[in-house]
């Protein structure tokens, strides 16, 4: 009886964590507001690393204006947002009474808090699972399972990594609609880790309707319900709800947009890449230099590489770690999508502290950090030299974006290999024999 009463008492650590989260959010909101009302806002919003043809708020504002005067905003190549997105933005502007900065700040902070909650749930479940199965581990590797202090640190690091990451910070300050897409992705992950199959499928359908690439996340979503919640029913419900929601979104968009002309402007732009404005991705440079008669072949190759090429092998290998699989696929989408922005990169990087227990098995941390730092610093400099000073060319800027993509790939592969190493070590121990010979698993 006493144990039950003790368990019902509020944990002081929880109160302290809540206070830390509140203070962190207030500081993050203040920093965003200060940048938004300063002269830096217009500079940040005009940078191609922040604003792309698909997430530019200026294009959204122009589309809403054209819609208000009964002009089809999808005539031409100005707007690449869906009619549902336009309806959503119009409603938000009415709700916030044109206070755009508070609209973006609210959604960005909500995303950060959800990622904190997602990380805490994931780490706690992983901790319980490892302690439950520790008898199956090697005796000399039990000391390497998760410790209670990691349950507190990792989620808070995720919150800090999102709210104070320059990539997500500049994306919010620059009025990038990636803020809302990140919110939907965070809501989807939140629903998945808490087992809300219908809500997670609806959020995934909304993400897919905006960006198309998240459609492949239906695989790790189903694997999560099958392997973590041991429920095939939830997985089936997720697929059904996802398909039905996609159909309903299509019907709404066709009625609100009064036609299907938006298909070409939204999904046609994503898939065929007609706008070759430079960004941090890989498409623009290749297709600027490409001969027209090779264009279709390489479009198919690039899009397959961005969607389904790595899906099946990763899903087979990491089917029992669906959360890690989800993050890996988000990494690949960010690297290989046609119009990426630093907001996409910042969202995925903020999830890396969820795997802090794998860092001791990683080997490329210093190299990845240096490449990120150098490429992020050089990108705006080389852009200025190329466009404004005419003392550089496209090769300089593309070299930086290529290094930036390589850093993301190195980071992802390092985490995946670290997961494999840790699994092997927990099962076989730090020292193990191979064909009678002594072998040592290197952890350094």
- Spell out, as residue ranges, where the chain has pLDDT lower than 70: 1-16, 257-258, 431-444
Nearest Cα residue to 418 out of 386, 380, 444, 399:
444
Instruction: Compute the Cα dihedral for 51, 57, 62, 66 and give only its sign.
Output: positive
Q: What is the model's pLDDT at position 1?
A: 42
Beta bridge partners of 432: 439
Assess contact for 199 and 191: CB atoms under 8 A: yes
The model's pLDDT over 227-266, given as tens digits with 9 standing for 90+, comes to: 999 999 999 999 999 999 999 999 998 887 667 788 889 9
Nearest Cα residue to 115 out of 62, 58, 159:
159
- % of the chain residues with pLDDT over 90: 69
Stated pTM of the model: 0.92
Assess contact for 73 and 86: CB atoms under 8 A: yes
The model's pLDDT over 355-383, given as tens digits with 9 standing for 90+, comes to: 999 988 999 999 999 999 999 999 999 99
Q: What is the model's pLDDT at position 2?
A: 41
The three-state secondary structure class of 350 is: coil
Q: What is the model's pLDDT at position 432?
A: 58
Nearest Cα residue to 51 out of 139, 173, 206:
173
Assess contact for 74 and 68: CB atoms under 8 A: no
Instruction: Give the span between the Cα atoms of 233 and 357, in whole angstroms.
Output: 32
Q: What is the model's pLDDT at position 293?
A: 85
Instruction: Give the span between the Cα atoms of 252 and 258, in whole angstroms.
Output: 9
**DSSP for 195-261?**
T-HHHHHHHHHHHHHHHSGGGGGHHHHHHHHHHTS--HHHHHHHHHHHHHHHHHHHHHHHHHSSSST
């Amino acid at each position: 009886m006493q144990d039950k009463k003790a368990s019902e008492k509020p944990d002081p650590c929880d109160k302290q964590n809540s206070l830390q989260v509140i203070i962190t959010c207030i500081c993050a909101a203040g920093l965003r507001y200060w940048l938004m009302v300063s002269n830096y806002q217009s500079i940040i919003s005009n940078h191609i690393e922040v604003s792309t043809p698909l997430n530019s708020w200026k294009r959204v504002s122009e589309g809403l204006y054209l819609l208000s005067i009964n002009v089809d905003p999808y005539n031409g190549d100005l707007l690449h947002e869906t009619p549902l997105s336009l309806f959503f933005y119009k409603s938000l502007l009415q709700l916030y009474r044109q206070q755009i900065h508070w609209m973006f700040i609210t959604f960005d902070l909500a995303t950060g808090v959800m990622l904190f909650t997602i990380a805490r749930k994931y780490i706690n479940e992983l901790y319980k699972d490892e302690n439950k199965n520790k008898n199956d581990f090697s005796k000399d590797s039990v000391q390497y399972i998760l410790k209670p202090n990691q349950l507190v640190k990792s989620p808070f690091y995720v919150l800090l990594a999102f709210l104070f990451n320059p990539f997500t910070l500049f994306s919010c300050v620059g009025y990038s609609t990636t803020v809302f897409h990140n919110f939907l992705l965070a809501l989807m992950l939140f629903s998945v880790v808490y087992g809300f199959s219908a809500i997670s499928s609806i959020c995934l359908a909304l993400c897919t309707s905006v960006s198309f690439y998240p459609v492949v996340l239906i695989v790790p979503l189903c694997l999560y319900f099958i392997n973590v919640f041991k429920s095939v029913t939830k997985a089936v419900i997720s697929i059904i709800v996802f398909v039905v929601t996609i159909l309903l979104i299509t019907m709404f968009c066709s009625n609100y947009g009064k036609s299907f002309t938006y298909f070409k402007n939204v999904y046609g732009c994503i898939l065929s890449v007609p706008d070759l404005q430079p960004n941090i991705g890989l498409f623009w440079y290749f297709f600027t230099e490409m001969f027209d008669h090779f264009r279709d072949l390489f479009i198919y190759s690039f899009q397959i590489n961005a969607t389904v090429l790595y899906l099946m092998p990763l899903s087979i290998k990491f089917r029992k770690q669906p959360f890690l699989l989800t993050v890996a696929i988000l990494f690949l989408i960010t690297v290989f999508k046609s119009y990426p922005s630093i907001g996409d990169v910042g969202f995925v990087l903020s999830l890396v502290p969820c795997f802090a227990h794998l860092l001791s098995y990683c080997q490329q941390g210093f190299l990845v950090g240096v490449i990120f730092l150098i490429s992020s610093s050089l990108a705006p400099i080389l852009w200025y030299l190329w466009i404004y000073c005419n003392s550089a060319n496209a090769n300089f800027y593309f070299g930086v974006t290529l290094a930036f993509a390589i850093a993301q790939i190195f980071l992802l592969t390092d985490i995946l290999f670290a997961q494999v190493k840790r699994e092997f070590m927990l099962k076989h121990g730090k020292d193990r024999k191979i064909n009678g010979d002594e072998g040592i698993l290197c952890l350094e």
